[in-house]
Amino acid sequence: MKRDHYTISDGRLKRKDNTLYFIKGEDGTKQSLPIEQIRNIHVFGEVDFNTKLLNFISQFDICLHIYNYYGYYSGTYYPKKKNVSGFTVVHQSAHYMEHSKRIYLAGCFYYLLHTIYFGTCADIKKKQLRLLQISNWKWKNFSMLKA
C-alpha cells in the first residue's frame, strides 16, 4: 500500500541511480526513500530539487506538495496523466452539456451507490420498511411519554 512521505527538515531531494534520496542540510546524512511505496511527498522545510527528480517521480505518479514556512499550502506538482484519450474527453464534455444525459448519469450513480449501500432491490425494500417501523415505534413512545 502506498503512503505519504512528509519532509519537515531542510535539505535536498535527489535522484541518484534510480533511487530517491533525502539529504539533510545540517549534517548531510542520506536517507533513501522507497519510491514504489510513496504516493505523495509533502515538503514543509527548505528543500532543493531539480528536474531530474521531477521526471523521476513522474514515472511513478507521485505528487509533490509544497508548503511555506508557516505550514500553509503553496502548490503541487502533478505528473502528466497517462493514456488520456481525446475521444473520451470530448464525449464526457458532450454528456455534461446536454441536461438529459447529465440527469441520466446522475441517476445511474445514485442507483449504483444506493445499491452498494443498501444491497439488492429486495433488500432495499426490507430495510426501508424496517427503518419506517423503527421510526414509528420511536415516535409513538415519545408521544406517550410526552402526554
Residue-wise pLDDT tens digits, 15-46: 888 889 999 988 889 998 888 889 999 999 89
Which pLDDT score is estimated for 63? 92
Same domain, 52 and 113: no
**Cβ atoms < 10 Å from Cβ of 126:** 13
* Overall number of domains in the chain: 2
Instruction: Give me the helix-helix angle, 99-118 and 121-146, nearest 10°.
Output: 70
Spans of the chain below 50 pLDDT: 137-147
Same domain, 10 and 69: yes
Which pLDDT score is estimated for 95? 81
Judge contact between 43 and 64, C-beta under 8 A: yes
* Torsions phi, psi for 76 (to 5 deg): -140, 140
Domain residue limits at 99: 86-146
Element (H, E) at 71: none
Same domain, 56 and 7: yes
Which pLDDT score is estimated for 40? 92
C-alpha grid cell, residue 61: 505518479
